[in-house]
Structure 1
Amino acid sequence: MPQATFLNLQALHLHPDPARVVVRRFGPSPDPRDMNPTDKLRANHIVARVMGLDQEAAAGQLAEVLENFNGRHRNLLERFEARADEMEEVFTTHCKFSRTQRQLVGSYFLHEYSFEAAALFNPSIVSHPDQSGAPPGGRRFILSLRAVGEGHISSLTFRSGTIAADGSLSVDPTSRLATIATFRNRMVRLDGDDVEVAFASDGDISERVIFPITASQSNGIEDARFVEFDEGGRSVFRATYTAYNGRGIRSELIETNDFLSFRMSPLRGSAAVNKGMALFPRKIAGRYAMIARQDNENLYLVYSDDLMNWDGGVAILKPQYPWEFIQIGTCGSPIELDEGWLLFTHGVGPVRRYAIGAVLLDKQDPSKVLARSREPLVRPEPSEREGYVPNVVYTCGAMRHRDQIVLPYAVSDTYCNFATIRIEALLQALSPVSADETHDLRQGAFPEKEHEHDPR
């Protein structure tokens, strides 16, 4: 079946680029308190070999390293020194270092990583905090994207772009360079609850990569759902995401004002045990609100007084149509319209095919479902089925601009497409839901914890 006729596909795609690399830690943990004896011993062997070079040989080796890698990264010598600084405990058994020796040692404990070699997908979109240079009647935006490289490790990266008054989209050129965020507090415990990272202000937003930092994130920062949150007239950009350590998951929250510095914190409570939490863009009746999936199938509405703890909740949506019989989930934060809250959802159907639909929730009481799509708005087309994970279309968040919705979405967990949708046409395509149907759902859905790591 073709896509919805009112979907305006853009001639715009974002593909992964294996040539984009970052330098990341190689070898011992950055926190000397977490180094095991074997790591320390091996690191000392490497340091001793470097220290065995005379000054001329060390300078020549460092010059060769810079000639090889300097054009691929910003401030490479500073990165070498920062890595050396992290390893002070290893250095205590050696004599005094020259600056050249420190920089050369640091280079041995870093490696290049192609962070989006495998995939660039699951985008979300928000209005850019800086609207200078926006086209007349248009708007600048920021995309967040999930990038996947070697070992299926997911990180968070960004792009910027514009939507013109006529609805056409463009994405700004991507920088060749890329840099991992650095700790604002260098000695932070990596098993701690809250982490703050930051980027230098002189780089393009497309250079910024938030790579897994804590133990809970060690195998991936997955599917960030950014939303511009109205905090009493001040905009704060927040996103829920999934931290994955290779065995289990936990829901976490990232917050920024400027997309230069970020704070990441775990979410707690019985409603935060699963993937796919999506925050409303403002408080409702004085409380924070979230759409969450606490079980294998259904969507719940959950409230919180403090943003970090989420308990309880009421079931508001369950699989109803064949394209979503396996499960449903969120596709980003609800979008506020005059008619209600527009929530994009994903459904999983036969042969584990993912498709995107939508529902309309009541403006005052979002537990009331007013309308929903009987058929998907977006589904995998024959020409788009192949990729890292076949038969999947997925998004982590859309944005309203005037009378239309900007919908970036991923294809087969590999690359991104873009579409715009007229709000009026979309609402007309949704089927009304009776009050009795909503009541029946509240009585019939029971949460069960999801134990396995679901891709979404």
Structure 2
Amino acid sequence: MIQRFKENPIINTIDIQPSLPSFIVECVLNPGVFTFENKTWLILRVAERPVQREGYVSFPVYGKNDEIQIIEFKKDDPRLELGDSRLVKYGNKFYLSTISHLRLVCSDDGINFYEPNHLPTKIYGKGPLETYGIEDCRVSFIEDEYFLTYTQVSENGVGVGLMRTKDWRSIKREGMIFSPHNKDCCLFENKINDKYFALHRPSGIELGGNFIWLASSYDLLHWGGHKCIARTRADSWDSVRIGAGASPIKTELGWLEIYHGADAHHKYHLGAILLDLDDPSIVLARSNEPILSPEMDYETKGFFGNVVFTNGHLVDGDQITMYYGASDEVICGATLSINEILKSLEAQLSQTMKA
């Protein structure tokens, strides 16, 4: 069903220059994908932090006027907790161990990527809702315009921001469209019954969970009609959290969405879900087994191992060319067949149709 690029990983941390001389790139991950100027483009999440001093942990945040500030703690400080490589806990306050921005790279063959010099390539966090950075951008092409849904992170929480552009030289920020705690938002690239639709992932703490929701809008800015359409499944590969990937693919049988799921061991897999063409709140079928699991060394070992995570692909006929982050550290690619994915969902789909 899936063929990994033999060149994987196609982008490593050493391939990306840090944004400041005093920084190191810890991770490149989870790219949005689009075509522009007859090239394949990725909008990478680049996670950085300062070169670490012996006996200290340091990390950046955006301060006043969106300037980088460095926070540093002694490692032997009893108030410091470093159990998760992605987080720094000091007393009752949480920080991210790195700060992320978005970086554009392009390719003539879909495998070898480089940073162009004819347009801006770096998008940084701005304002009080992005002081901890911006992450995991999805790109949707709607009515001759590119729409970017991405994760905004600050001490206020984690929400979904929206940007838009026609030429990638001038980008308009529309602000937060889904308030905390929310992420994993992708837009449908076609209207359904004169409305726009989005998948998103609000998170419940004591009630609810990390489920996939559907919302609708008439202007892409104001969203309502929220429905929870897919929940985690006990004792399954997607038992703890699930979230949408890139824009759903329109097929004759329904909207095909490749999504991620994590289990109780924080192992991330990819699967598929099929939604009704006229009413995408109706789930027609869903993968019982993953279509991609961490198996290769570059997927099982890294900054945060046992992770495959996608939010970007290109479609050409039956073929999906999917780009994904592995181990929260590197970028990889793979190809999939739409028909083969649909065939794997055939038994469930048949039961749904009979019902």
Q: Same fold (TM over 0.5)?
A: yes
Corresponding position of 1:69? none
1:407 to 2:315 alignment: no
1:420 to 2:341 alignment: no
Matches within 5 A, 1:321-400: 322-381=236-295, 383=297, 384-400=299-315
More helix as a share of residues: 1
| Aligned partner (choices 153, 157, 167) of residue 258 of structure 1 | 167
Query: 1:158 and 1:256 mapped to 2: Cα distance?
Result: 14
Q: The residue matched to 2:339 in structure 1 has which SS?
A: helix
| Aligned partner (choices 117, 121, 128) of residue 25 of structure 2 | 117
Query: 1:308 and 1:255 mapped to 2: Cα distance?
Result: 11
Q: Give me the TM-score of the superposition, normalised by structure 2.
A: 0.77
Matches within 5 A, 1:114-263: 114=23, 117-128=25-36, 130-131=37-38, 140-150=39-49, 151=59, 152-162=98-108, 169-174=110-115, 203-204=117-118, 208-229=121-142, 231=143, 235-263=144-172
Query: 1:434 and 1:170 mapped to 2: Cα distance?
Result: 35
Measured after TM superposition, the shift of residue 259 of structure 1 is: 1.4
Measured after TM superposition, the shift of residue 161 of structure 1 is: 2.0
Q: The residue matched to 2:125 in structure 1 has which SS?
A: coil
Higher deviation after alignment, 241-250 or 216-225? 241-250
Deviations 1:413-442, CA, capped at 9 Å, x for gaps: 00011001122112112254469989xxxx
Measured after TM superposition, the shift of residue 293 of structure 1 is: 1.8
Q: Is the 8 A contact 1:18 1:117 kept in 2?
A: no
Corresponding position of 1:197? none
Report the RMSD for the aligned CA atoms in angstroms: 2.5
In structure 2, relative to structure 1, the CA distance for the partners of 1:357 and 1:351 (3 Å cut) is same
Query: 1:422 and 1:391 mapped to 2: Cα distance?
Result: 24
Higher deviation after alignment, 334-343 or 424-433? 424-433
Greater Rg over alpha carbons, structure: 1
Query: 1:285 and 1:398 mapped to 2: Cα distance?
Result: 25
Q: Among the aligned pairs, what percent are the same residue? A: 29
Q: What amino acid does structure 1 have at the position aligned with 2:174?
A: S
Q: What amino acid does structure 2 have at the position aligned with 1:338?
A: E
Measured after TM superposition, the shift of residue 264 of structure 1 is: 1.4
Measured after TM superposition, the shift of residue 386 of structure 1 is: 1.2
Corresponding position of 1:22? 19
Deviations 1:129-172, CA, capped at 9 Å, x for gaps: x22xxxxxxxx321111000012110001111245xxxxx4234
Aligned length: 298
Query: 2:43 and 2:314 mapped to 1: Cα distance?
Result: 12
Deviations 1:60-105, CA, capped at 9 Å, x for gaps: xxxxxxxxxxxxxxxxxxxxxxxxxxxxxxxxxxxxxxxxxxxxxx
**Which segments of 5 or more consecutive residues in structure 2 lack a partner in the other structure?**
50-58, 60-97, 204-208
1:7 to 2:2 alignment: yes
Q: The residue matched to 1:425 in structure 2 has which SS?
A: helix
Q: The residue matched to 1:397 in structure 2 has which SS?
A: strand
Query: 1:389 and 1:425 mapped to 2: Cα distance?
Result: 30
Q: Is the 8 A contact 1:267 1:309 kept in 2?
A: no
In structure 2, relative to structure 1, the CA distance for the partners of 1:11 and 1:211 (3 Å cut) is same
Q: What amino acid does structure 2 have at the position aligned with 1:261?
A: S
In structure 2, relative to structure 1, the CA distance for the partners of 1:347 and 1:389 (3 Å cut) is same
Q: Which runs of 4+ in 1 moved over 3 A?
A: 172-175, 267-270, 431-438
Q: What amino acid does structure 2 have at the position aligned with 1:142?
A: W
Corresponding position of 2:89? none
Query: 2:263 and 2:286 mapped to 1: Cα distance?
Result: 17
Q: The residue matched to 2:104 in structure 1 has which SS?
A: strand
| Aligned partner (choices 189, 198, 201) of residue 293 of structure 1 | 201
Measured after TM superposition, the shift of residue 174 of structure 1 is: 4.0
Q: Is the 8 A contact 1:335 1:399 kept in 2?
A: no
Q: What amino acid does structure 1 have at the position aligned with 2:17?
A: R
Query: 1:311 and 1:243 mapped to 2: Cα distance?
Result: 20
In structure 2, relative to structure 1, the CA distance for the partners of 1:172 and 1:411 (3 Å cut) is closer
Q: What amino acid does structure 2 have at the position aligned with 1:342?
A: L
Q: Is the 8 A contact 2:211 2:241 kept in 1?
A: yes
Corresponding position of 2:226? 313
In structure 2, relative to structure 1, the CA distance for the partners of 1:126 and 1:246 (3 Å cut) is same
Q: Is the 8 A contact 1:372 1:431 kept in 2?
A: no
In structure 2, relative to structure 1, the CA distance for the partners of 1:293 and 1:19 (3 Å cut) is closer
Query: 2:224 and 2:29 mapped to 1: Cα distance?
Result: 30
Corresponding position of 1:73? none
Corresponding position of 2:74? none
Corresponding position of 2:189? 281
Query: 2:48 and 2:124 mapped to 1: Cα distance?
Result: 11
Corresponding position of 1:99? none
Q: What amino acid does structure 2 have at the position aligned with 1:10?
A: F
Q: Is the 8 A contact 2:159 2:178 kept in 1?
A: no
Query: 1:214 and 1:146 mapped to 2: Cα distance?
Result: 18
More strand as a share of residues: 2
Q: Is the 8 A contact 2:18 2:48 kept in 1?
A: no
Q: The residue matched to 1:17 in structure 2 has which SS?
A: helix
